[in-house]
Amino acid sequence: MQNKKAISEYISWVLLILIVVTIAVIVATFVQRFSEKSVSNIQTSVSVEECNFVSVSVPGLCQKPLSLYINITNNNLITITELKFRLVYLNNSTDNQRKIITIIPGDTKELELLTQEIIKKLDIIPVFQKENKRIICEEQKYSTETIEIC
């Protein structure tokens, strides 16, 4: 009988160690994902002072049922490296898209975005790079609720 009791103790220790290791793996995974998210937030943080040197205008904008055509101009001193688009459709569903594009100051680019249907609201948010960090200039966004049909 004493042998069975000794085996039960070993089994309980093995189970206890397995539970501790499992909890450690879960905590480590959570910490890793949380830290990656925090680093991403730091890299995409907005510097208000730097964003004062970023602005865009849209001299041309029209849409077809599945496409949006945009002429966009960089009006300020910093080269734009990316554009984020926030689309709101007629049925109030939303879509977020981004385009990696380089627009130097004073330059105009023509873009075409694929859409799901007719758009009722559009936000264009400029993004630029500084020291390998993405700076998103939310306060410098171009926003419109008037989009003509091509």
Q: What is the mean pLDDT of residues 84-97?
A: 93
> Domain spans of the chain?
1-43, 48-149
- Region of poorest pLDDT, from 9-13, 14-18, 57-61, 92-96: 9-13
Label residue 6 by pLDDT band (50, 70, 90): low
Query: Which has the higher per-residue pLDDT, 43 or 109?
Result: 109
- Region of poorest pLDDT, from 11-25, 45-59, 121-135: 45-59
Determine whether domain 48-149 maps to CATH 3.40.1620.
no
| Chain segment 23-82, per-residue pLDDT in tens | 999 999 888 887 777 665 555 554 667 888 999 999 999 999 899 999 999 999 999 999
Q: Which residue has the tokens 């539970």?
A: 19
Burial readout 61-78 (b: 16 or more C-beta within 10 A, e: otherwise): bebeeeebebebbbebeb
Q: What is the mean pLDDT of residues 134-141?
A: 90
